[in-house]
Amino acid sequence: MPTVYGIAAQHRGWVEVESQVGRGTTFRVYLPASVKAAKEVAENGPQVVPKGQETLLVVEDDTSVRQVMVQGLRVLGYRVFEAANGQEAMALWRDHNRQIDLLLTDMVMPEGIAGLELAQRARAEKPELKVIISSGYSAEMTECNVIDHPNPYFFEHSPAK
């Protein structure tokens, strides 16, 4: 919830929560409408989204998040291998590393291999591999020096002191 609130606040929106015992909880996220975007679509018509041709390895331990990501990427034309943790990802990497163009991995995962370690192992074997590391925990991304680094292909882990 703090992540959702933070995103809403950054966009000048807000979150309302209504909860009733025995009935459940409703979250409403309000974001300001973009008149500019609506006007552009009305004037120019809908834009065609280019199709991808690359092969991706998606690693995400949350099943519903992984399914949405994989389905969306496949609709966009990408070939996708998927793994629920670092161990599964390494097995797929061993079998398909020549085909994989991009690793899209969660930062925090169970089973002993986190996203950063997975990315470092894969890039040790294939330095040209593009990597996207995602996290719901912004402090971890900052700790790993992956935000605002002058080289977008660089990341290093600096353990918290």
Domain with CATH 3.40.50.2300 in the chain: 55-143
Whole-angstrom CA distances from 113 to 11, 25, 78, 101 are 34, 35, 25, 20
Whole-angstrom CA distances from 71 to 1, 80, 82 are 24, 9, 11
- Residue-level pLDDT, tens digit, the chain, 161 residues: 677 777 888 888 888 888 989 888 888 888 888 767 667 767 776 677 788 999 999 999 999 999 999 999 999 999 999 999 999 999 999 999 999 999 999 988 877 888 889 999 999 999 999 999 887 765 544 555 544 444 444 444 444 43
Helix axes 86-96, 115-125, angle to 10 degrees: 20
Cα gap 87→109, rounded to integer Å: 10
**Tokens at 145, concatenated:** 């020096």
Fold of 55-143: Rossmann fold (3.40.50)
Cα gap 95→42, rounded to integer Å: 47
Whole-angstrom CA distances from 83 to 57, 65, 105 are 8, 12, 9
pTM higher than the cut 0.85: no
